[in-house]
Amino acid sequence: MEEEEILERNQFEELIQGLIDRKYGCSNNFILPSTVTGLRDTIQNLSEMGKMKLAGVGNASSKKQDNEIRGDKINWIQDTSVNPFEIIYLKKVGKFIEHLNKTCFTSIKSFESHYANYEKMSFYKRHIDQFKSEKGRKFSIIVYLNQDWQDQDGGQLSLYPEEGKAQTISPVGGRIVFFRSDEMEHEVHPSSTRDRKSIAAWFKN
């Protein structure tokens, strides 16, 4: 097994073990700095072209915008993308799903992803990713794309496990967070210093 494959497997196992031990997995450097930069630049280009749109609340049949709940702007990543950095990201997540299905028998069949840009002082209040009327989402991931993020910048993710105390995670570039969509309540806090960029994705069966 090549060194890169060993590193990937260790990252996947770190995420799975974290889910088992504390209801969430977290791994640094899930994607390389060059890919983080490419994906971050893609968000910037989409923003400049006016293609990052305010996100809604609720599923397709009841979606509405509510800035009192969430203020991020999003753009969905297509499976057929020819963007080289999106291809790297999609391939890595696909490998993680293959590992999950092989080792944990999760039966994940697909996933969907979107870019998320939180402008200064924007947030997403405490929520859960699973819709009451749609049970397809099984796991959630967040991949951060921020450069040189410092704790004083704010913008942290808070996780609220059913058992145990809340956990706070800083949105450091390259870091991934992994949890069950139907269990883990979570919240995105505002940053007072700069925009906060990430990719959110959901594994579906």
Q: Which two tokens stand for residue 130?
A: 């699973």
E strand spans, 68-171:
73-77, 110-118, 124-127, 137-144, 157-160, 167-169
Domains annotated on the chain, with CATH: 3-54+71-204 (2.60.120.620)
Q: pLDDT tens, 52-103?
A: 999 977 555 555 566 778 999 999 999 999 999 999 999 999 999 999 999 9
CB 42 within 8 A of CB 117: no
Q: Evaluate if residue 20 carries a pLDDT over 60.
A: yes
* Residues 93, 115: Cα–Cα separation, whole Å: 14
Percent pLDDT > 90 in the chain is: 86
> What is the pTM for the complete model shown?
0.93
Q: pLDDT tens, 6-17?
A: 999 999 999 999
Q: In the prediction, which pLDDT does 70 show?
A: 92
